[in-house]
Amino acid sequence: MAKREKSQPTVIPRAAASRLSRYLRYLEELDRNGVTTTSSQALGAALGVTAAQVRKDLGYFGQFGYPGLGYKIAQLTPELRRILGTDKAWNVALVGIGNLGTALLRYKGFSAHGFRIVALFDASPALVGKRVEGNEVHHVDEISARVRECNIELAVLSVPGEAAQAVADRLVEAGIRGIFNFAPALLNLTQEVAYVSIDLALELEQLSFVVTQRERESGL
């Protein structure tokens, strides 16, 4: 606690943060099945980690378990949502309304977890002014004005790689707090902006890598 008072922020490892989301998914599933309590053993088993790891991950944020009982699902679930920030709705901008962008717009998983795509942007004259899934597409030049106007905190980027940095710069300038990047590009961003990047081809390449390594190990 002394450390916190010196305003030294606790750094939560990325893998631990990702597990928090997975614990929450598992708790939601248990709840749907009418289960009311669980344990660090059970949470760990569901994710393939140890019970000690579960306790360590949750321990960054407080003491949630009861000795001999484990975790009360009705209590831990809202705590995890609060920690993850999904106890509130987030306004999200989507930049790049191509095939991937349109699929992301239609993707039910975002709104189911409180992420509302409230503004669409593209640079293409063929798209600007059109409605996609009921939302008007605005020109990227309007990013700054609309991000402020609609109180948008997060942005999803599905633009071509070569356009990504310029769009990211506009979003940051407009005060965006986090960027979820699908463009195959390494973005140079200020530390203040949270950042998650997925390069789909690169992820698929990880599969071909593992399969290739195994074939070579086994002499195929």
Instruction: State the minimum distance, in angstroms, from the CB of residue 168 to its own copies.
Output: 14
166 binds its own copies (CB under 8 A): no
How many C-beta atoms lie closer than 10 Å to residue 101's C-beta?
24
> Which pairs from 105-108 meet CB under 8 Å and 24+ separation?
105/132, 105/133, 105/135, 106/133
Residue with tokens 């669409």: 120
196 binds its own copies (CB under 8 A): yes
201 binds its own copies (CB under 8 A): yes
Residue with tokens 């344990």: 39
Q: What part of residues 54-83 is at the interface with its own copies (CB under 8 A)?
A: 83
Q: What part of residues 99-138 is at the interface with its own copies (CB under 8 A)?
A: 99-100, 102-104, 106-107, 109-110, 112-115
Q: Residue 71 pairs with which residues in a beta bridge? A: 38
Instruction: State the minimum distance, in angstroms, from the CB of residue 195 to its own copies.
Output: 8
Identity of the residue, 67 or 217, whose beta carbon is nearer to its own copies in the bound complex:
217
Identity of the residue, 66 or 111, whose beta carbon is nearer to its own copies in the bound complex:
111
Exposure on the CB side of residue 90, measured as CA atoms within 13 A: 22
Exposure on the CB side of residue 159, measured as CA atoms within 13 A: 26
149 binds its own copies (CB under 8 A): no
Identity of the residue, 65 or 178, whose beta carbon is nearer to its own copies in the bound complex:
178
| Contacts with its own copies, residue ranges (CB under 8 A) | 7, 9, 12, 14, 17-18, 20-22, 25-26, 46-47, 83-86, 90, 92, 99-100, 102-104, 106-107, 109-110, 112-115, 153-154, 156, 177-180, 184, 186, 192, 194-196, 198-214, 217
